[in-house]
Structure 1
Amino acid sequence: MNLVGAWRLVEWRIAGAGGRVSHPFGTDAVGLLCYTPDGHMSATISRAGRAPLPGASPRHAPAEALAEAFTSFFAYAGRYEVRDGYVAHDVEVALNPVLAGTVQVRELNADGDRLILAAEEDGRWHTLIWKRS
């Protein structure tokens, strides 16, 4: 499958034990996933309708507002490689510093103009559905 291009988030769901399903940024989350021809990628996901940080500069925003901005947004970028039904994201930079230097491997499936990426984490399955932009 040709991943090159931009993809818009349709859904991010997490299935836990007993079939419980949650949506970490809500059912209306927004996101953009980009793959370049030369092997770079970036992923950003946000809760819809995020409030702007108060004040003229984020550096002066209250800690609570900064924490909310951090917990309602997800982003990383780096290089990618497709391998036998999987895509590996070699993370170079990330909003959450713990992800930098890791390789995030996702099952890769296609359904028409949709891209489905899935991975298990701590006994729960994260499924992200993207539509070609």
Structure 2
Amino acid sequence: MSNTKEAGTHHTTASDFVGTWKLVDYSFLREDGTVEKPWGDHVVGYLLYSAEGYMSGNLSPAGRRHNVEKASRKRDYIAYAGPYTVEGDTVTHHVEVSLFPNWLGTAQLRYHKREGNRLILRTPPIPSGDGVVAVQLTWEKVVR
């Protein structure tokens, strides 16, 4: 008699995401293997997943300046929310509200991986002005 489920394997479900997660790293992974930290080493943010199937994410560099002129602003704050679904190694955020109008109504796919109390989310490869990049965000579970 063989055991069809390997010891230590776990099928990820939406309930594995439920809770509050604090941002600890925001990196760009380039095609050539280099890692870039566009917001530096100090970032702030929270990602919330509810048991009802909704998510909300807010993140920015820790030293974000509020009086920067509009012309010189880069994307230095990300905020969006909506329902989420989990399938295999992906979680999809179905955007219903967003700081970026072009994200409204989109499905933001993220590959996920758990390492202890950390959740690592990575975007699919995204064409950028200087090549292709995947954005990787590392979140740590908030426990009170």
Normalising to structure 2: TM-score of the pair? 0.78
In 1, Cα distance between equivalents of 2:66 and 2:122: 31
Equivalent residue, structure 2, for 1:121: 126
In 1, Cα distance between equivalents of 2:74 and 2:36: 19
In 2, Cα distance between equivalents of 1:47 and 1:81: 27
- Are 2:80 and 1:72 aligned? no
- Are 2:96 and 1:87 aligned? no
SS in 1 for 2:119: strand
- Are 2:140 and 1:131 aligned? yes
Higher radius of gyration, 1 or 2: 2
Identity of aligned residues (%): 37
Q: Root-mean-square deviation (CA), in Å?
A: 1.7
Q: Which runs of 5+ in 2 are unaligned?
A: 1-11
Equivalent residue, structure 2, for 1:20: 34
In 1, Cα distance between equivalents of 2:84 and 2:70: 30
Aligned residues between the structures = 123
| Aligned-pair CA distance for 1:81 | 0.6
In 2, Cα distance between equivalents of 1:69 and 1:17: 26
- Are 2:44 and 1:44 aligned? no
* 1:68-101 residue CA offsets vs partner (Å, 9 max, x unmatched): 6673211111110111111000001111110111
Bigger helix share: 1
- Which residue identity does 2:135 align to in structure 1? H
Normalising to structure 1: TM-score of the pair? 0.84
